[in-house]
Structure 1
Amino acid sequence: MAVIRMLATDLDGTLIGSANEFPLYNDFREKVQVLRHNYGTIWVACTGRSLSSFNEFFSPMRMMGIMPDFVIVNHAYIYSVGNFGCLPHLLWNLRIRYLIWASQLYVRDAIDEWHEMITGVSLGVSTIRRKSDRLCLRFDSEESATVAANLLMEKVKPYRHLKVFRYLMEVDVRSVPFTKGLAVSELAHHLDVSSSEILAIGNGHNDISMMDKNVAQLVGCPANSEDEVIETVHKAGGHIAKKRSLGGVLEILDAYADGTVCCDFPQEWVPPAKGHNPSIVRSGKKKKQKFNTIRVLLFLGVAYVVLVVFANFRMIPYVSGIIMKPYKLFLALLEKIMTLLW
């Protein structure tokens, strides 16, 4: 049976899903109370929402008497939860803000260096996307992509928030939202809780940083998790739940309580390396977006023509002159062009 002194849970899609899970609230409240009684467990709700958005979104659980001990909002900033609401830990949050700023500088320089290194040694590579916190490359073979991915995995080790993903012939180095893990680690440090006593549960890319072994050695994810999250939990030996959202959270808590943790992949799970990069817009989607843009422009053009017709007959009081002005300028310009040509 695992000793859990800190429970760090994601909010959207993990604690609160799209389905009606109200019947599970009592069960969750009881399990948290048992953890608090047995181990003095501190529950931390982690979210990318602002504090006001969290308070509104979390209100159904609050009405059921379910409240965390701490809240991490905007993926990074720590608040204590008490009788008078949520109070910020200013000094802790200032340190987190500094670490975020410093890491962004380091990552920008590293991305530039790695781009020059990879493109310099490989001829069959093209750059799909290059930003201050991201580098996506396409290779001419899966073998080349694998070699590059392995090389970059070694390079990113000092950067806990940088991850390397390989999708067929593409290698994507990107900064996953790392501040949740940073905030959980900072909070655990001040509360003297070791990573071996922290259970982190989440379902999205922004939760992966909480599942780093330096942050939490006990991890789990519900069935509705991103593929990369499932892979992370599998590698860490955590519990991959068969149920979604809060049902999955309850399953994870039971698994750690009963010693029945299972990290087996779901039957229908496909490794990310065998699929397409979901964060890159494919050509079909680009064409669809372009088509939608053309439709909008055509609609605006037709709408303006209709307005011009009505304005020409003075059927739109007060603004007919304004509507006709661009039309008259266009006619004058067209007349000048025709004069020059003929």
Structure 2
Amino acid sequence: MILALVLSSVAIIMSAIVATSYIKVQSVNLNIASVVIPKFAGGNEKKLVPHKNSTDAQQRLDEFEATEADFNSVTIDISDNDQGQQSNIETPVSTVQPSTQPKASSPKVAYLTFDDGPSKYMDEIVDILNEYGIHGTFFVIGNQIEGNESSIKSASEQGHYIGLHSMTHDKKILYKSGSSLKFLKEFNKVQSMVEEITGSNPWLIRAPYGSKPQIDKEFRNDIVKAGYKMWDWTVDSKDWKFPDRPDKVLQEIKRQVHREVEVILLHEKKQTVEALPQIIEFLTNKGYAFAVYKPDQHFSVNFANDSRL
């Protein structure tokens, strides 16, 4: 009789333990979901996020968006690319490969940059960007500012960034001596002109024809001492090479775009204006958000891999 009571008690206790364990397992499965969080630098990072049901989990994913990245640092690797010699145009130099450590929520980001303005196309480019709700970064030439002050002022007031692209865009004047003296003199001048128009003092420059091979280490040291930051690019659209062929401009961008962060070189050209809507739509479909240069979010994009710039 006593033995029967003992066995009965053990059976009851074991049933309770099994039931409790089952309840705990079920509780874990019901309250934790595996949600894939995109990593900015590529790949996927899985995180467990508490939720009540799958609808809540989907809502978390829907809300997981950002339009601009908060960059802290970017390093550049250089790979070989064609070297060209053209007059009054940008020289294709090297493809740069940025890597960064921004916030985990950062999406792929594209910076649309426009050189050689202000021109008769600047307002039209700004209008197209505004239609898509995005901003561009413009590098202007001082000798082209007179008569186009209103275009610069309007673009700046609408949230576009006005950077510097020298006074003359003349390779012989800027680089022939090997000294930075004339180079910096031109950028100081165009900086003053832009500040007078916009009320802001820009420090981001783009060297005409790119920084390679014209600008050596000593030259870069002088640019750093002057307080400037310098951007090259990761994608050369070669729009200068394809007059009346916007399809070729788009094709070049499609061929080169593959990084998490792209700084795309464009110019104020007719074919660029015609290709721009398709460029924006292509990048959007590839998952890129668009950003404008912001001094407090500066990161390095230069062919020398110089983090000071």
Q: Same fold (TM over 0.5)?
A: no
Which fold has the larger relative contact order, with Cα–Cα distance below 8 Å and residues 6 or more apart in sequence?
2
TM-score, length basis structure 2: 0.29
